[in-house]
Amino acid sequence: MTTDIVDQIVGVTPELDALRRRRPVTREQLQASFDALFAPVSTEEVSQAERELIAAFATRLAGDDDATGTFYADRALAVDPQRGAVVIAEAVDAAVTGPFGSYTEVGLQAENTEGERYTPSAEVSGALGERLAAALVHTHLLVFRPRESSADDIQRLVDAGWSADGIVTLSQLVSFLAFQQRVITGLTALQKGIAA
């Protein structure tokens, strides 16, 4: 097992470490998920650079002062400085308050909310490539408008060169990052409370 990434991002203290040790399975599985997604057996369907760039985009949507976003931004810049800079700038511009979207279920439509949709410019698509640009659009959808995800969205990924296995990995990656980011935000708040 690699260094515990959550501990690394939070800057774990002995008190927080003791708290985390109360849930050893959760701690181990969170790290195992990170290892599976960022040190996979195969990167055939989703390259290492794509994983890092998508992670930077997904987590940086929370703002530039988010510790998880900073961690993944640094990783993206290390693996692909040129595209990493574009992805980070796009995430900053694409950050909105969400989630939002439309419900199709009767009785829930009163909860429909509108919000901006992310669409990369032709210049950005050219710099990132169609495949990565499509992944960022899908990532924004999953982060801010998951209730609107449809077969058409999957088809856009297929049209951009994503395989079924690649799409599953992309979705797993975004889901994991959302969970990891919430855990880190919670632990950071607890750590501040312990220190106060």
Q: What residue spans of 44-121 are helical by DSSP H?
A: 48-60, 67-79, 81-94
Task: Measure the CA–CA gap between 49 and 26, rounded to whole angstroms.
Answer: 27
CA 14 from centre of chain: 28
Q: pTM surpassing 0.85?
A: yes
Q: Across residues 123-131, what is the average pLDDT?
A: 97
**Per-residue confidence (pLDDT) for residue 196, from 0 to 100:** 62
Give the model confidence (pLDDT) of 34-76 as tens digits.
Answer: 999 999 999 999 999 999 999 999 999 988 788 999 999 999 9
Q: What is the pLDDT of residues 7-17, one digit of tens each?
A: 999 998 888 88
Residues 165-192: tens digit of each pLDDT:
999 999 999 999 999 999 999 988 888 7
77 Cβ neighbours under 8 A, 6+ residues apart = 56, 84, 85, 88
Q: Which residue has the higher pLDDT, 182 or 112?
A: 182
Residue with tokens 């009163």: 110
